[in-house]
Structure 1
Amino acid sequence: MDPTRPESFNHRSERLSTGRTYHFVDQIPTNYIPGSTPTLLCLHGFPDLWYGWRYQIGPWTRKGYRTVVPDMLGYGQTDMPFDATQYSTKMLCNDLVALLDLLGVSKAIVVGHDWGSYTAGRFALWHPDRLLALVMMSVPYTPPSLNYMPVEGVVSRYQDFGYQAYFATHSSTADIDPKVSYLLQILYRKSDGVMPWTKPGEMKNLLINEREVTDCLLNHKELEYYVSQFSRGVLGPLSYYRTAKVRYEEEKAASLPVNLRADLPVLFIWGNNDRTCPPANVRKSRRFIPKVQDVVVEGTGHWIMVEASETVTQQVLRWLDGLATQRSNL
């Protein structure tokens, strides 16, 4: 499990009971005991891959956790449906349950970043009985909405979500497909202060008028790997931004609760320089999570698993150790 060598991880591809084929990394620790060894299910966001967890997979596995990390639907070597409705969080969560079933795992600790964090929060609502604990990163929990709000309405409240309205348009696919490498360089940066992209119109303008990027967090080899894994284009990954209406309708029909399970331990980790994670949203999320621990990683932005890889790795392990100690003392 060498973070510089993607091929050094244990890769699998399996067809799930939902009919979709997922590629995932499945790292099993020594002395693994089926039904007893805890499993971490790690979910990435946009525009990421299983590889976004490259610094965490090894340490977490060596500490005794089975670490399962899929390419999410539409990414890497996992199936890519063309219909955006196939990317609703209900359907994604059903896939993840099917993946756990395939692996013989009844309950997991779900860890998510970015869209993976949002999906992890919804997993806790759609399948609360399959969850031992929840770790969310960079995107705080938001409850199901009582009324539908299109992405444009969200952007009117939070201007730094302007890029979401652009990604939700079908024209953005054609804009980005020939410029995937440049998009990755724009997004994988420590700070967006020098080259702003979050507000309405800024991302499209950057794609049209390319400016040199000098502070990308990905080295040349890592960037090459990411680009190779986006060879099918970005239709699938961008489809997540086009599911607002179907998500609302599914959640309303199911009468999902707004609060997470009362006994569910939740850890939220975020960087204080992340403009896509407003502190007001973090504060608001606490009202819906009875058992949450909030950790701010000072001086970091959105990509905390890379910018502060050791801090994130160890923070999660310490938190899990604390949960294990609490259970043993009961």
Structure 2
Amino acid sequence: MDPTRPESFNHRIERLSTGRTYHFVDQLPSGYDPNLNATILCVHGFPDFWYGWRHQIGPWVREGYRVVVPDMLGYGGTDKPWAADEYTTKKLCGDLAALLEAIGIKQAILAGHDWGSHIASRFALWYPNHLVALVILSVPYIPPSPVYLPIEEVAKRAPNLGYQVYFSEQKSTKDIESNMKKFLDIMFHPPRSPMSFTKVGALEAALKGLPSSILSPKEYQYYYDTLSRGMNGPLNYYRTFKQRHEEELAAGLPSNLRSDLPVLFLWGTRDPTATPAIIRKSAKFVPRLQDIALEDRGHWVMVEAKDEVTSHIIKWLKNIGSHSAKAKL
């Protein structure tokens, strides 16, 4: 499990009961016993894939955890349906539940970053009994809304989300695919928020004055090669606002997470997607929330603060007693 060698991880491909085929890394600890060793299911964000968790997988496995990290729908070696309505969080959570079923796991610790944080949090609402603990990074918990607001209206109220309007438009797919190197240059330069542009014409300007990339040249090339397979799937996550709202409303999803669910939130103090005010609002809906601020870190905390993230999560899991698959939380 060498983070500089993606091929050194244990890769699998499975067709799930949902009908979709997923690629994922499935790393077992020495002497693995499904009744004794807990499983951590890691969910990546945008624009990422399983490799975003490369620094955490090995250390967590050596601590006795089974670590499962899929390429989410639309990414890497996983299916890439074209239609946006295939990417609602209800369907994505269904895939994750089916993935756990396929590998013989009834309950897991979910860890998510960025979009993966939102998906993992929604998994806790759609499949509350499948979780023993929840870890979310960079994007705090946001409860289902009883009222639908189009993304255009949301962006008016929160201008820093203007990029989501752009991503929700189909034209952004071709724009970004045609400017992939510039796009990745912006994405992986801390400490900025994931996006500081609202149209492709702003890519050039956004590049000015950026610090060094958090990726090595070899890592950058791996991201470029993988994401160049197509950006329609990843961008489709931003094209499901109305469908997600309708599904959550129809299901009557609660605002609060399960009252006994331990939840850890890790965030970088230089990441505009997470502020103390937003975290305070989030805490109202998360009874067992603990948050840890990572000083002077940006959005990509799994890389920028790889050792801190790895150790904080392990320490927290041990403190709440979730090292064993049979732990009673």
TM norm structure 1: 0.94
Aligned residue for 1:198?
196
Higher relative contact order (CA 8 A, sep 6+): 2
Report if aligned partners of 2:192, 2:299 keep a CA contact under 8 Å in 1.
no
Superposed displacement of residue 178, structure 1: 1.6
Structure 2 residue 315 is matched with structure 1 residue 289: no
The letter of the residue matching 2:19 is G
Aligned residue for 1:263?
260
Q: Give 5+ residue unaligned stretches, structure 2.
A: none
Aligned residue for 1:3?
3
Structure 2 residue 87 is matched with structure 1 residue 90: no
Pick one of 229, 237, 244 that aligns with 1:240: 237
- d(CA) in 1 for partners of 2:204 and 2:184? 15
Q: Summarize deviations over 1:72-110 as a string: whole Å, max 9, x none.
A: 000011000001010000000000000000000000000
- d(CA) in 2 for partners of 1:207 and 1:90? 32
Report if aligned partners of 2:182, 2:204 keep a CA contact under 8 Å in 1.
no
Aligned residue for 1:106?
106
Aligned residue for 2:250?
253
Superposed displacement of residue 197, structure 1: 4.6
Report if aligned partners of 1:269, 1:295 keep a CA contact under 8 Å in 2.
yes
Q: Give 5+ residue unaligned stretches, structure 1.
A: none
RMSD: 2.0
- Superposition map of 1:1-330 within 5 A: 1-192=1-192, 197-198=195-196, 201=198, 203-207=199-203, 211=207, 215-324=212-321
* Residues 171/191 of structure 1: CA separation in 2 closer, same or farther (3 Å cut): same
Report if aligned partners of 2:190, 2:211 keep a CA contact under 8 Å in 1.
no
* Residues 326/167 of structure 1: CA separation in 2 closer, same or farther (3 Å cut): closer
Superposed displacement of residue 326, structure 1: 11
- d(CA) in 1 for partners of 2:111 and 2:328? 25
Report if aligned partners of 2:73, 2:79 keep a CA contact under 8 Å in 1.
yes
* Residues 184/98 of structure 1: CA separation in 2 closer, same or farther (3 Å cut): same
Superposed displacement of residue 209, structure 1: 5.7
Partner secondary structure for residue 284 of structure 2: helix
Report if aligned partners of 1:175, 1:207 keep a CA contact under 8 Å in 2.
no
- d(CA) in 2 for partners of 1:326 and 1:63? 9
* Residues 329/258 of structure 1: CA separation in 2 closer, same or farther (3 Å cut): closer
Report if aligned partners of 1:50, 1:70 keep a CA contact under 8 Å in 2.
yes
Superposed displacement of residue 211, structure 1: 4.1
Partner secondary structure for residue 307 of structure 2: helix
Report if aligned partners of 1:35, 1:105 keep a CA contact under 8 Å in 2.
no
Superposed displacement of residue 310, structure 1: 0.2
Q: Percent identical across equivalent pairs?
A: 55
* Residues 42/189 of structure 1: CA separation in 2 closer, same or farther (3 Å cut): same
- d(CA) in 2 for partners of 1:162 and 1:138? 18
- d(CA) in 2 for partners of 1:325 and 1:82? 38
Range 119-128 or range 29-38, more displaced: 29-38
- d(CA) in 2 for partners of 1:261 and 1:143? 12
Superposed displacement of residue 191, structure 1: 2.0
